[in-house]
Amino acid sequence: MYDVSPPTLAELDAPRRRVRVDLAAAHRLAVMDDLHEGTWNHMSVVFPGEGDRLLMTPADTHWSEVTASGLVEVGPDDADRLRDAYDGLWVAYRIHYPVHAARADAACMIHLHPPHATALGALAGGRLEFVDQASLEFYERVAYSDAYDGAGGFEMDQGAAIARWLGDHATVLFLRNHGIVVIGESIAAAYTDAYLLERACRVQLLAMASGRPAAPVPADAARAMRSEGESLSYRERHFAAMKRVLARDGSDYER
């Protein structure tokens, strides 16, 4: 495992400590909600005022083991040592940084391979259908890549491609045969949307399995419902509630 020389949390200012705690919680919740896959996916968050320096998932760490102090700060000045110490972490930075740079509202970026969203993205012509409450959160905010990126996921320009596919308004991106990318104005927003997207995909696939035609929500109703959910507050409340679940179950993510 790459030696990140973790900081002493007590020495950090409160905002920086809170960002670390929340990002660690998001990793643990992804395990609880079955959104993770092995040790291969990654999350990132931008520290306020430090746009080229990201807090990221540590290399070769199962998300059930991620802690606030173990998260890694990565910036452009880390290229040489990361290529030697653990190139995978530098690859992740190169993928995430262009997205953060392109979108002022992308404070947090999450890349996942959750089973139902990934399955939907593996279907020919697979598209999210607006057939349940969770899916309406993403009405007119979904983007797609329609070619498998394969080894391209490890190339320098992959982050720029993801930013281009997301465009100016999408907050979720289905990567063909690969998984999803979710961005948000906060860790709570991005994680809650990742959770809701996976739930929406599960409902859609279950409905499709019945063999009966879907009954999509009319566009005007979908747009109105999405507008009601634009506030961050319910996402923050949901995330706070789920952190209480982690605490109740004895999780050590805050250390």
**Domain map (residue ranges) of the chain:** 9-229
Q: Which helix (H) or strand (E) holds 203?
A: helix 187-209
Least confident segment among 41-55, 117-131, 224-238: 224-238
CATH number attached to the domain at 9-229:
3.40.225.10
Q: How many CA atoms lie within 13 A of 222 on its CB side?
A: 17
**For residue 200, what pLDDT is reported?**
98
Gap between the Cα atoms of 61 and 70, Å rounded: 10
- 132 CB-near residues (< 8 Å, 6+ apart): 200, 203, 204
Predicted TM-score of the model (pTM): 0.92
Averaged over 231-244, what is the pLDDT? 91
Residue 98 contacts residue 165 (beta carbons within 8 Å): no
| DSSP assigned state of 179 | E
The pLDDT assigned to 151 comes to: 54
Per-residue pLDDT reduced to its tens digit, 5-35: 556 777 778 888 999 999 999 999 999 999 9
Bridge-based pairing state of the strands 172-175 and 142-145 = parallel
The count of other CB atoms within 10 Å of the CB of residue 64 is 13
Is residue 1 classed as helix, strand or coil in its secondary structure? Answer: coil
Residue 175 has pLDDT above 90, yes or no: yes
Q: What is the DSSP string of 93-142?
A: HHHHHHHHHH-TT-SEEEEE--HHHHHHHTSTT------SHHHHTTTT-E
Token pair 């320096």 in the structure block, residue: 53
- CA triplet 192, 114, 109: central angle to 5 degrees? 50
- Cα 140 from Cα 54, distance rounded (Å): 28
